[in-house]
Amino acid sequence: MDLTLVFSLLFLSCFHGASSDSRYFTSLFTLGDSYIDVGNFVIMAARAVPAVPVWHDKLPYGMTFFGHPTGRLSDGRVIVDFIAEQFGLPLLQASLLNSPDVSKGANFAVGGATAIDVDFYERNNLVQFKLLNNSLSVQLGWLKELKPYFCSATKGGCRGCFSKALFFVGEFGVNDYNFLWSAGKTEHEVMSYVPEIVENIVRAVERLIKEGAVYVVVPGNPPNGCSPTILTLRSSLNQTEKYDNIGCLSDINRVAMYHNVMLRSEIGALREKYPRARIILADFYKPIISMLQNPDSFGVASQDALRTCCGGGGVYNWNPSAICGMPGATACKDPSAFVSWDGVHYTEATYRYIAKAWLYGPFADPPILSAIRH
Ligand SMILES: *[C@@H]1O[C@H](CO)[C@@H](O)[C@H](O)[C@H]1NC(C)=O
Ligand SMILES: *[C@@H]1O[C@H](CO)[C@@H](O)[C@H](O)[C@H]1NC(C)=O
């Protein structure tokens, strides 16, 4: 091999991103809830005693791209799948599959995961059912257990390996707030939990940075007041609800916005404390709102903006006795013509749009691709 070639290869492997982003990150590790779960909920639910019923382990879940259910709560890929594709990494497997090869990463996210430990909700009778033990702190524990498997062979040990990985911490918070709203808490009471929820997220990010992580994406909360599920459940309560100009529930969205503002401020403080870390604040709120405000420009009919693709009828096409995956529910022909997939989770088309906006901007601070080229 001639020296010129050796040098250009060296140059190429050090100077990433000229034409492709593959090889920039050696691995991807993701913590979160049902927005990015790729199968952990299905595994945990089957192991639970008594087993927890699952509706998303059958078609039409997975009808797009995969053609079969994968444990993802969408018709197709979720945000972190598009991120993996961008960086030439395989689509992550659910960590609880205990795959022998975790060298490219693992996805620890589980549907229903909370930022506050589940025993808090059970102890205070805020939920009337047994929760899966899947909170943020539990997921951090799983990551710690798996560490020897993806770090040991790496030069520089775990710090070196962490510094070349991309981490996602979140979204977290949506399930916490849902439990509090469902328990009948007032807006003021739900707001009072925001500092603790944000604190738990920020401490998790800090823990990863202390262990050597450099690139951490921290998504905020989506506008859950626009969820067809919550819109339906609230309308049957016959309360005089306040809707915004899109038709979303203002009180629920105010809590989400407050969460996002506080998250931004706490992440700001963390950046000052760890100037070498590249913490990316990913906006999960504005991209959804921009789709709902201008559905036509996303190929969504305006009358479908707040309706689910997959459901069992009703104003929002969400019916509690025929939820997507249950008998009686059907999927629309073209999920990309909908924002919401099943009432809570989004379509692959929505997730692709969000992933692109986090990679290239404008809905991330900084966009992931500018963070790596900084
Ligand atoms: C959840 O799991 C963690 C870690 O294994 C454990 O310490 C905790 O007691 C568990 N909590 C519940 C409510 O089972
Ligand atoms: C909702 O509540 C109002 C006032 O209490 C009552 O007049 C109305 O009939 C109720 N509507 C339904 C659909 O129950």
Residue 374 has pLDDT above 60, yes or no: yes
CATH 3.40.50.1820 fits 2-373, yes or no: no
Q: Are 49 and 6 in contact (CB under 8 A)?
A: no
Q: 277: which DSSP letter?
A: S
Please report the pLDDT score of residue 148 as a whole number. 84
User: Does 336 qualify as catalytic in the annotation?
Assistant: no
- Which of these, 338, 224, 335, 232, lies nearest to 285 by C-alpha position? 224
Please state, in angstroms and rounded to a whole number, the distance separating the CA atoms of residues 62 and 71.
Answer: 8
To test the ligand 1 pocket, which listed residue (124, 130, 138, 145) has its Cβ within 8 A of the most ligand atoms? 138
3-state secondary structure of 330: strand
Please state, in angstroms and rounded to a whole number, the distance separating the CA atoms of residues 132 and 114.
Answer: 10
User: Does 345 qualify as catalytic in the annotation?
Assistant: yes
pLDDT-derived band of residue 17, with 50, 70 and 90 as boundaries?
very low
Please give the average per-residue pLDDT across 84-103, as a whole number. 93
Q: Write the pLDDT tens digit of every residue in 190-244.
A: 999 999 999 999 999 999 999 999 999 999 999 999 999 999 999 877 666 799 9
Q: Write the pLDDT tens digit of every residue in 346-362.
A: 999 999 999 999 999 99
Question: Does the beta carbon of 118 sit less than 6 angstroms from any atom of ligand 1?
Answer: yes
Instruction: Name the residue type at position 235.
Output: S
Nearest ligand (C-alpha, residue 236): 2
Computed over every residue of the chain, the mean pLDDT equals: 92
Q: Which atom of ligand 1 sits closest to the CA of residue 118?
A: 13
Structure tokens at 29: 């590790």
Please give the average per-residue pLDDT across 20-28, as a whole number. 84
For 128-158, give the DSSP string. SSPPPS--HHHHHHHHHHHHHHHHTTSTTHH
Catalytic residue among 27, 34, 74, 95: 34
Closest-CA residue, ligand 1 atom 10, reads: 133
Please report the pLDDT score of residue 13 as a whole number. 39
Please report the pLDDT score of residue 14 as a whole number. 37
Residue 23 has pLDDT above 80, yes or no: no
- Which of these, 110, 95, 73, 74, lies nearest to 27 by C-alpha position? 95
Q: Write the pLDDT tens digit of every residue in 266-293.
A: 999 999 999 999 999 999 999 999 999 9
168 φ, ψ (degrees, to nearest 5): -120, 130
Alpha helices, DSSP H only, in the chain? Answer: 3-14, 40-47, 79-86, 118-123, 136-151, 157-163, 174-182, 187-191, 194-210, 228-235, 250-273, 286-293, 348-360, 368-372
pLDDT-derived band of residue 311, with 50, 70 and 90 as boundaries?
very high
To test the ligand 1 pocket, which listed residue (44, 129, 133) has its Cβ within 8 A of the most ligand atoms? 133
User: Residue 75, CB half-sphere, CA atoms under 13 Å: how many?
Assistant: 27
CA dihedral sign of residues 25, 268, 138, 224: negative
- Percent over 90 (pLDDT), the chain: 83
Please report the pLDDT score of residue 9 as a whole number. 42
Kind of pairing between the strands at 215-219 and 278-282: parallel
- Percent over 70 (pLDDT), the chain: 92
Closest-CA residue, ligand 1 atom 7, reads: 138
